[in-house]
Amino acid sequence: MKQETPVSNRRLLGVAGLGWLFDAMDVGLLSFVIAALQKDWNLTVQQMGWIGSVNSIGMAVGALLFGLLADRIGRKHVFIITLLLFSIGSGLSAFAPTLTVFLLLRFIIGAGLGGELPVASTLVSESVEAHKRGRVVVLLESFWAGGWLIAALIAYFVIPGYGWKTAMLLSAIPAVYALYLRLSLPDSPRFQPQEAKQSAWEKIQTVWSGPYARPTVMLWVLWFCVVFSYYGMFLWLPSVMVLKGFSMIKSFQYTLIMTLAQLPGYFTAAWLIERAGRKFVLITYLLGTAASAYFFGGAETVTALVVSGALLSFFNLGAWGALYAYTPEQYPTAVRGTGAGMAASFGRVGGILGPLFVGYLVAQKHAISSIFTIFTITIIVGALAVLLLGKETKQQELI
């Protein structure tokens, strides 16, 4: 049995990781599609901000509802439902005739994305041995970089020649993968249907009860700060490059280079997380993100822009990997989906505000450097929450 476990872990990582990759491909494509839509539909910066924010409203709703549902019907079923929801919605958005219809579909896509991410990390966390769990979950999150890389390649090679609608049609491919998962994916070995009899309200109360109140506060602050800054910065990344004077093709090219830096960010975080611990990785990579954001906002040359942008990708995505490893470890099995989903849902409020915030400040002619300084401060607040309120969960057995 011991000989089979690593193979089982690799298979689970591959199966769940592909779902994660498709998620990232959709979010990554959106950042490029926003820049293309601005030209096709003559969007204002406020309208551009709303596209990202509506996506996050859907993610907030999806994280909460599907987190609760995962504790009732199991992790596997919710993983498949959410995958289908966002992939079909992405395909349909290629036919959106107006911004209003596109926004409605982005809400539906966001609900699928928001539900899938915490449920997938919970499924993997519960299926892997304690001494490997952190590393495997960070490696799961590393598939996000692969999805962004594919999105950047599609944006660079497909959007200029074939248009954004073709790119959105490509993002419907995961629907086929979801059908395969229905037959091949095992559910969490820890999920027990009899534990699902507790009502949703009772599960929410448990998450905020005595021993879990402190980690819940810590997670909510951390998730808000990370999501606010990530979606504020990365959904606007190609557009910020255009605002700094680069052509759309050049901005896509530089963003592709920056995206490549995500992979070593994940792999170094995966290596450190079982050695130095969750808190060390989170705090270190968040502070690295804060410093990179500050220098990216003030970058004036191509070299400074690309180097600081690459470091931003490196540290920010390494922190994301640690966040997904750390979150499910704060709760017992009966409410793990609920607790992780609620934290992610509250974080998505930051994802709603971040893109709107950037759009509003750009419209008011605020300097990009000032906007990124605010993101720097926000990320530091998240690091302080972990430092002051977080507990170390390295190699801790799940209950």
117 domain residue, yes or no: yes
Which tokens go with 146? Answer: 């692969």
188 domain residue, yes or no: no
325 domain residue, yes or no: yes
DSSP per position, 12-63: HHHHHHHHHHHHHHHHHHHHHHHHHHHHHTT--HHHHHHHHHHHHHHHHHHH
191 domain residue, yes or no: no
Distance of alpha carbon 399 from alpha carbon 55, whole angstroms: 34
pLDDT at 270 over 50: yes
pLDDT at 2 over 50: no
3-state secondary structure of 171: coil
Distance of alpha carbon 24 from alpha carbon 18, whole angstroms: 10
The count of residues in the chain is 399
190 domain residue, yes or no: no
Q: Alpha helix (H) ranges present in the chain?
A: 5-40, 45-73, 75-93, 99-127, 130-157, 159-162, 164-170, 174-184, 200-207, 210-234, 237-243, 248-260, 262-273, 278-298, 302-326, 333-363, 368-389
pLDDT of 3 reads 37
pLDDT of 154 reads 86
Distances (CA, A) of 248 to 145, 268, 379: 21, 32, 28
**What CATH number does the domain containing 62 carry?**
1.20.1250.20
395 domain residue, yes or no: no
Cβ neighbours around 107 below 10 Å, total: 17
pLDDT of 194 reads 55
DSSP per position, 290-309: HHHHHHHHH--SHHHHHHHH
3-state secondary structure of 358: helix
Cβ neighbours around 268 below 10 Å, total: 17
The predicted-structure confidence for 329-382, as pLDDT tens digits, reads as follows 898 888 888 888 899 889 988 888 887 788 788 788 788 888 899 999 999 999
> Can you say how many angstroms the Cα of residue 234 is from the centroid of all Cα atoms in its chain?
11
Amino acid 198 reads Q
Contact call for residues 324 and 151 (beta carbons, < 8 A): no
Q: Is 197 exposed, middle or buried (0-12, 13-18, 19+ CB in 10 A)?
A: exposed
Contact call for residues 128 and 76 (beta carbons, < 8 A): no
The predicted-structure confidence for 56-105, as pLDDT tens digits, reads as follows 889 889 988 998 888 888 888 888 888 888 888 888 988 988 899 999 99
Number of domains the chain is built from: 1
Distances (CA, A) of 188 to 205, 313, 353: 24, 31, 34
194 domain residue, yes or no: no
Contact call for residues 258 and 237 (beta carbons, < 8 A): yes
pLDDT at 291 over 90: yes
pLDDT of 196 reads 55
29 domain residue, yes or no: yes
pLDDT at 248 over 70: no
For 291-299, the CB contacts below 8 A with 24+ separation are: 291/376, 292/316, 293/229, 293/233, 293/372, 293/375, 293/376, 293/379, 294/372, 294/373, 294/376, 296/233, 296/372, 297/368, 297/369, 297/370, 297/371, 297/372, 297/373, 297/375, 297/376, 298/369, 298/372
Which tokens go with 147? Answer: 């999805």
Average pLDDT in the chain: 83
Quote the domain boundaries for residue 62. Answer: 5-182+200-389
The predicted-structure confidence for 161-207, as pLDDT tens digits, reads as follows 888 888 888 888 766 776 676 666 666 676 666 555 677 788 888 88
Cα atoms in the 13 Å half-sphere on the side-chain side of 180: 10
Which tokens go with 394? Answer: 């390295």
Which tokens go with 315? Answer: 């540290």
3-state secondary structure of 213: helix
